[in-house]
Amino acid sequence: MLNRRVFTLAAGSLVLGASLAAPVLSQELTPVRFTLDWRIEGPAAGFMLARDNGYFEQEGLDVTFDVGNGSVEVIPRVATGAYDMGFGDINSLIKFLDEDASQPIKAIMMVYETPTFSVVGRSSLGITEDPASLEGKTLGAPPPDGAFAQWPAFVEASGIDTSDITIESIGFPVREPMLAQGDVDAVFGFAFSVILNLKAQGVPDEDIVPIMMADHGLELYGNSIMVNTTFAEENPEVVEAMLRALAKGFADAVADPAAGAAAVVAANDILDIDIETERLEMANEMNINTAYVQENGFGGIDFDRLDRAIAQLGTSIGISSDISAADVFDDSFLPPAEERMFE
């Protein structure tokens, strides 16, 4: 049994101990340090259900989750070895490896088969579903946000004139409040998070207008499970066990969103279960349980599509090397496709 390292928690960080095993069993479990992209909300239900339903324990794992500060920040956390695995934006990972191919990190399981990158505005502020409605507006952008990272590709694909668009750098905590108060006209973010956070701020549903980047010609993927490749080389059976457990957890979250929402609320009790149920259902429909996943199984990718996405990223984030899909994504740890099919 592997017990690699002792994990010292950073002061002030929110940590969720994943082991529900009896003390005698917990001593036999293999610890895995995992960083999420964001705080625990509905779309994280697959992680919480893998824990709560005992799938990690069945695989001999003691998984510790830390919340994140954006899907881009996950990458250096995993690459430096601060975490063994994480959940982050594969497009930002492509750029990271383009700049330094020697970095020990790869994506190994796709979760958001369709990315949830969006610009969300309010109709009362002049925003419509037409990206051209953003012209002349002020857009709030958290710098670490994965959606904001794709702004250049979105601009080219949609033909927006950015000459009179103002980008205002804002923090995640004030993103939705600033839009709700009309301090900015639209914000970048994951659609399911921004929409529901705006509703929680009192913005009427009919006033909220999401502009989905995937609807405007982008072939990008979204967030995936990432692994420190040094960890994976030393512990391949642990990585395979993690993916088996996560495939079951996400299958449960798709099959029973109410149970998934209950799991995230149990982990983060400031949440409203009705909002998180809706958020999870949106993520399942838009990003996780897509037509491709229903046909091919959860977790894998189309390597040709990822190569096309890399070419597209050359426009948005300046890919300068000959990096290919095989350099970014390793599907060798995935369980067989028949074990990754949703009901």
Verify that 97 and 140 share a domain, yes or no.
Answer: no
Structural domain contains residue 16: no
Structural domain contains residue 95: yes
Verify that 205 and 78 share a domain, yes or no.
Answer: no
What is the strand order of the sheet 15-17 is part of?
15-17, 61-66, 30-35, 85-89, 223-228, 105-110
Verify that 204 and 233 share a domain, yes or no.
Answer: no
Verify that 268 and 334 share a domain, yes or no.
Answer: yes
Q: How many CA atoms lie within 13 A of 244 on its CB side?
A: 16
Count of structural domains within the chain: 2
Supply φ then ψ for residue 331, to 5 degrees.
-95, 10
Q: What is the pLDDT of residue 156?
A: 87
In whole angstroms, give the CA distance from residue 280 to residue 55: 20
Q: Residue 197 sits in which domain range? A: 117-216
> DSSP letters along 51-67, please?
HHTTHHHHTTEEEEEE-
Q: Return the CATH number at 316.
A: 3.40.190.10
Verify that 312 and 194 share a domain, yes or no.
Answer: no
Structural domain contains residue 306: yes
Give the end of a domain, one of 216, 240, 263: 216
Verify that 250 and 102 share a domain, yes or no.
Answer: yes
Give the end of a domain, one of 216, 248, 273: 216
* pLDDT digits (tens), the chain, 343 positions: 333 333 333 333 444 444 444 444 556 899 999 999 988 999 999 999 999 999 999 999 999 999 998 888 999 999 999 999 999 999 989 999 999 999 999 999 999 999 988 999 999 999 999 999 999 999 999 987 878 988 988 998 889 999 999 999 999 999 999 999 999 999 999 888 899 889 989 999 999 999 989 888 788 999 999 999 999 999 999 999 999 999 999 999 999 999 999 999 999 999 999 989 999 999 999 899 999 999 999 999 999 999 999 998 988 788 999 999 999 999 999 999 999 999 8
For 233, the enclosing helix (H) or strand (E) is helix 229-234
Structural domain contains residue 20: no
Verify that 234 and 311 share a domain, yes or no.
Answer: yes
Verify that 256 and 325 share a domain, yes or no.
Answer: yes
Verify that 108 and 153 share a domain, yes or no.
Answer: no
Verify that 180 and 253 share a domain, yes or no.
Answer: no
Structural domain contains residue 11: no
Verify that 190 and 298 share a domain, yes or no.
Answer: no
Structural domain contains residue 285: yes
Verify that 236 and 315 share a domain, yes or no.
Answer: yes
In whole angstroms, give the CA distance from residue 64 to residue 220: 29
What is the CA angle 173-178-181, rounded to 5?
Answer: 140
The DSSP bridge partners found for residue 68 are none
Give the end of a domain, one of 161, 193, 216: 216
Q: What is the pLDDT of residue 339?
A: 96
In whole angstroms, give the CA distance from residue 9 to residue 191: 31
Structural domain contains residue 8: no
Structural domain contains residue 19: no
Token pair recorded at residue 15: 């940590």
